[in-house]
Structure 1
């Protein structure tokens, strides 16, 4: 039996990964730097390229890369959500065989130092936009943030968990709580194109941070729920929030052998293994 009779291509996607584009807007005395990492992909009727090496329906990944740079020049680079939508539309226009265009954008924030033309990286977190645009359907858009590291030195407890023969963790009513937030907020139907993306992003990020800082935590799971709920309360344009929160463990260091007490003052930080708490909060 030939491969053609026994096998079929059930799914395919191809594109250009991690196009690094930096756009400088010099229209005002204070320049604006947009620093992006863009990944594009197309899905559709590309079977012959896989089965027969027939590339007649293929928009090259090089052309996808050039689309990113060309649109950065033609339209500028505003909010990453809007730029992703512009790129996706152009790709669908250029490639009739494509049914869906997917664009992911990571934005590395820069802060002005003064003088109009000097900048520093603004913290460690990365702003993210993820878009899927069907040719004949509604855009599906998510925004978010990666690598947002937060820590609180009190208002965190952990007790009442299952205890069995492999349980060694001690209960505590006072612990240091730290995590590196990965968040994706999903836009409601119809909001992808009409929303003020800058306001959504600023509001969602502020809600995440306020909820983490102001919440008395009995578990990181409970804190996740509070953070996701705060984002939805703050931004009506959003339908749901998915959070991934690794527990960046900090354990009290035993100083008794040196004749010293340790009233929640000195910790050692372990990077692995770590608890990984994940969940999605949606509107009812």
Structure 2
């Protein structure tokens, strides 16, 4: 029996980069978390400890900082692609680079110059936004080119009605009662794969996000799976540069509280929000002409 080295990669995880652009007294913030992973001719470092083909992970960290200064950070997909190409094109042993970025949002704090004086002209105070986290994963391969996946996570949504659940399989262990009116809540993690490098990732993200929200709100749901499909379908119909959407949607259960012991009715007004266990719904929606991904999304 022979023992051989399998697939491998290495890199620097979670390099926090905050880039401040000063436009006079008005400042702009990009707050991102960068993770890079490289693979290629790495047999020697594993088998003999020879580091001759290894670009240190510390160098990858420094590259993220230096590129943020040199090129700025606009759309995270563009910045990830810039880094990934740099690693592959500048280092012959490196054949493949994966760069993942998370972006955290900040809102401006309106600050007055004083009573009745209005808002000050300078804008440099921020509060961390309660919005979702924007994400992207970019793969750049010496032979296969680039694959760009945008996305979001921690997008919490809820419909207080317009959701049903019935007609499911029942066996000797089933205690769940059918319902024609329930709260439907979930925390959406979604990723969508682009057909190429179209260069309008900001608009694409905003419209894909809006499509997810609109489809969730407008779908009279008979199951969370049905809602997932309609959300993915809406993104594909809205953004033609997207060929596949993958989603993870935990069912954030809300159980009606029994108030009869207190002599009270509860017509779908008071609920207990349970955090676990929870149903976990996952799925992908894609066009029938979607090109093969070339490699795993993750």
- Give the TM-score taking structure 1 as reference length: 0.95
Match of 1:8 in 2: 4
Alpha-carbon distance between aligned partners in 2 of 1:27 and 1:79, rounded to the nearest angstrom? 18
Alpha-carbon distance between aligned partners in 2 of 1:68 and 1:122, rounded to the nearest angstrom? 24
Aligned residue among 53, 56, 62 for 1:57: 53
Would the aligned equivalents of 2:18 and 2:30 in 1 still touch at CA under 8 Å? yes
Cα distance, 1:59–1:84 mapped onto 2, change above 3 Å: same
Task: Please give the residue correspondences for 1:72-111 in structure 2 after superposition, counting only pairs within 5 Å.
Answer: 72-111=68-107
Aligned residue among 11, 21, 26 for 2:17: 21
What is the CA-CA distance between 1:111 and the residue it aligns to? 1.4
What is the CA-CA distance between 1:135 and the residue it aligns to? 1.5
1:241 alignment partner, SS class: strand
- Whether 1:242 aligns to 2:260 is no
Would the aligned equivalents of 1:59 and 1:94 in 2 still touch at CA under 8 Å? no
Alpha-carbon distance between aligned partners in 2 of 1:113 and 1:30, rounded to the nearest angstrom? 12
Match of 1:281 in 2: 285
Match of 2:236 in 1: 232
What is the CA-CA distance between 1:17 and the residue it aligns to? 0.4
Alpha-carbon distance between aligned partners in 1 of 2:24 and 2:46, rounded to the nearest angstrom? 49
1:273 alignment partner, SS class: coil
What is the CA-CA distance between 1:222 and the residue it aligns to? 0.3
Match of 1:45 in 2: 41
Q: What's the CA shift string for 1:244-263, capped at 9, x where partnerless?
A: 00000000000000000000
Match of 1:156 in 2: 163
Q: What's the CA shift string for 1:20-46, capped at 9, x where partnerless?
A: 010011135431110011000101001
Alpha-carbon distance between aligned partners in 1 of 2:83 and 2:145, rounded to the nearest angstrom? 16
Which runs of 5 or more residues in structure 1 are unaligned? none
Task: Please give the residue correspondences for 1:110-189 in structure 2 after superposition, counting only pairs within 5 Å.
Answer: 110-114=106-110, 115-188=122-195
Deviating beyond 2 angstroms after TM superposition, the runs of 4 or more aligned structure 1 residues are 27-30
Would you say how many aligned residue pairs link Structure 1 and Structure 2? 277
Alpha-carbon distance between aligned partners in 2 of 1:135 and 1:267, rounded to the nearest angstrom? 54
Q: What's the CA shift string for 1:62-99, capped at 9, x where partnerless?
A: 11111100000000011100000111111123321011
- Whether 1:218 aligns to 2:214 is no
Alignment RMSD (CA, Å): 1.1
Would the aligned equivalents of 1:181 and 1:244 in 2 still touch at CA under 8 Å? yes
Task: Please give the residue correspondences for 1:177-216 in structure 2 after superposition, counting only pairs within 5 Å.
Answer: 177-188=184-195, 191=196, 193-216=197-220
Alpha-carbon distance between aligned partners in 2 of 1:22 and 1:205, rounded to the nearest angstrom? 24
Alpha-carbon distance between aligned partners in 2 of 1:208 and 1:161, rounded to the nearest angstrom? 26
Would the aligned equivalents of 1:67 and 1:90 in 2 still touch at CA under 8 Å? no
Alpha-carbon distance between aligned partners in 2 of 1:213 and 1:221, rounded to the nearest angstrom? 15
Which runs of 5 or more residues in structure 2 are unaligned? 111-121, 289-298
